[in-house]
């Protein structure tokens, strides 16, 4: 059986900025922007349309029908366009009778929908949890769609979206989904980002190869804009968006962009295409980070430590280290290397390469003490070296 999600999927999803207002021209221009703004080169691959793409009724054969005004040429024409750019296409449905916005869901239509999606050239299915029959376990409903997709004749990634309900971490890998949403919906402000981040620190261990914990689509670059009132909010400053991107990357979350990439600023593009950060997320070993809190500032400052596949030409082991300060004042993070298995007596230290400044900042033994601005995240790729 093919592994379809060796590393966390990367792409763009229509929901955060456009909500209900999606159409063929928009999606095509997003595909063009993937190429023009360097997103494809940075590793972004999937273009996903979310809820609100279909007619309200199935056709006489029980098949889903694309909205005739939004997608006048159907979905196949659109996937052909996207594939011609070397990109992949994702669509949206729901385990229940209806989607969250009230369009037809796939309950009891799983097999015909999977075949329809395959015929249209779909590569990715986001599968939501609204209007779920109360007496059927979510696990069974995700298994049902996973089974249908495995038998539809095309490789289609299954992206579950049950907002972390029903202890999803415990059963989702066995259901055959490749990623799963673990929180309620994000909105474009710091409190939302902070809440999602803190809620998932203890769940990092459930995220791994071929079944990734999806902390929701990114709001990087939305800056208080967009047409979706569910997500629209005050926006964040640049440092907060960098923290958001860094932590999602470190936590092995899929990186699904949510802003309007056609009009994104150079600053936003620089965040989203930071190859040093993306490399941590896409590390081939897919290992989860563990969390070490600042010993005298437990609630506000912590480090995420993610072992990387490293560089076999040296010691063969790198660590990604992200240091986060969620408080409103500048703070110190002192990472004691003893806590990550490198006591002074080992004769080893760490060379810190700053993944936002793109430079080596120093070689440390015993500990590294770093100042972090409010809401900032410093991210380092650390090489183990002999003292």
Rounded to 5 degrees, φ, ψ at 193 are: -60, -45
Active-site hit among 128, 188, 210, 260? 128
DSSP string over 228-270: -TTT--S---HHHHHHHHHHHHHTT--EEE-S-GGG--HHHHH
H-helix segments, 104-254:
110-120, 138-150, 168-175, 190-200, 238-250
Distance of closest approach, residue 101 Cβ to ligand GAL, in angstroms:
4
H-helix segments, the chain:
15-18, 24-36, 39-42, 74-84, 110-120, 138-150, 168-175, 190-200, 238-250, 266-272, 275-281
Q: Is 128 an annotated catalytic residue?
A: yes
Stretch that binds ligand GAL, among 97-105, 117-125, 252-260, 291-299 (CB under 6 A): 97-105
Stretch that binds ligand GAL, among 66-74, 93-101, 248-256, 282-290 (CB under 6 A): 93-101
Q: Which of 15, 127, 180, 356 binds ligand GAL (CB under 6 A)?
A: 15
CA dihedral 132, 62, 83, 253 (to 10 degrees): 10
Token representation of residue 364:
């440390």
Contacts to ligand GAL from residues 134-163, by CB under 6 A = 161, 163
Q: Which of 26, 42, 77, 101 binds ligand GAL (CB under 6 A)?
A: 101
Q: Is 318 an annotated catalytic residue?
A: no
Q: Which of 110, 128, 283, 376 binds ligand GAL (CB under 6 A)?
A: 128
Distance of closest approach, residue 265 Cβ to ligand GAL, in angstroms:
24
Of 50 and 110, the one with the shorter C-beta distance to ligand GAL is: 50
Q: How far apart, in whole angstroms, are the C-alpha atoms of residue 137 and residue 199?
A: 24
Contacts to ligand GAL from residues 23-52, by CB under 6 A = 50-51
- In degrees, rounded to 5, the angle at the alpha carbon of residue 54 between the alpha carbons of residues 229 and 70 is 75
**By the rule CB under 6 A, 103 interacts with ligand GAL:** no
Of 162 and 303, the one with the shorter C-beta distance to ligand GAL is: 162
Active-site annotation, residues:
128, 185
Residues near ligand GAL (CB under 6 A):
15, 50-51, 99-101, 128, 130, 161, 163, 185
């Amino acid at each position: 059986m093919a592994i379809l999600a060796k590393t966390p999927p990367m792409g763009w999803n229509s929901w955060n900025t456009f909500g209900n207002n999606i159409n063929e021209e928009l999606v095509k221009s997003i595909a063009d922007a993937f190429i023009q703004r360097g997103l494809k080169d940075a590793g972004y691959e999937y273009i996903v349309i979310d809820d609100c793409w279909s007619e309200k009724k199935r056709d006489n054969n029980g098949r889903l029908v694309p909205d005739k005004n939004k997608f006048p040429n159907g979905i196949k024409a659109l996937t052909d366009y996207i594939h011609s750019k070397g990109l992949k296409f994702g669509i949206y449905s729901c385990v229940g009778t209806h989607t969250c916005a009230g369009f037809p869901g796939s309950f009891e239509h799983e097999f015909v929908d999977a075949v329809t999606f395959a015929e249209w050239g779909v590569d990715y299915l986001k599968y939501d949890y609204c209007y779920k029959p109360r007496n059927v376990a979510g696990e069974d409903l995700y298994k049902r769609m996973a089974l249908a997709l495995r038998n539809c004749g095309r490789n289609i990634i299954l992206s579950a979206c049950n907002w972390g309900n029903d202890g999803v971490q415990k059963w989702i890998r066995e259901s055959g989904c490749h990623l799963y949403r673990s929180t309620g919906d994000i909105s474009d402000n710091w409190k939302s980002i902070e809440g999602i981040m803190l809620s998932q620190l203890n769940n990092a261990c459930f995220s791994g190869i071929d079944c990734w914990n999806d902390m929701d689509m990114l709001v990087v670059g939305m800056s208080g804009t967009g047409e979706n009132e569910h997500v629209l909010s005050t926006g964040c400053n640049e440092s907060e968006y960098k923290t958001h991107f860094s932590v999602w990357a470190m936590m092995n979350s899929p990186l699904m962009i949510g802003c309007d990439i056609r009009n994104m600023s150079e600053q936003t593009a620089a965040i989203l295409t930071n190859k040093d950060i993306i490399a941590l997320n896409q590390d081939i070993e897919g290992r989860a980070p563990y969390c070490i809190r600042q010993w005298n500032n437990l609630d506000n400052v912590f480090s995420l430590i993610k072992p990387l596949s490293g560089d076999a030409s040296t010691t063969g082991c790198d660590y990604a280290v992200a240091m986060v300060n969620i408080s409103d004042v500048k703070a110190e993070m002192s990472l004691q290397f003893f806590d990550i298995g490198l006591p002074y007596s080992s004769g080893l230290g760490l060379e810190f390469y700053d993944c936002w400044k793109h430079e080596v900042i120093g070689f440390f033994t015993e500990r590294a003490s770093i100042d972090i601005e409010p809401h900032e995240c410093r991210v380092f790729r650390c090489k183990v070296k002999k003292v």
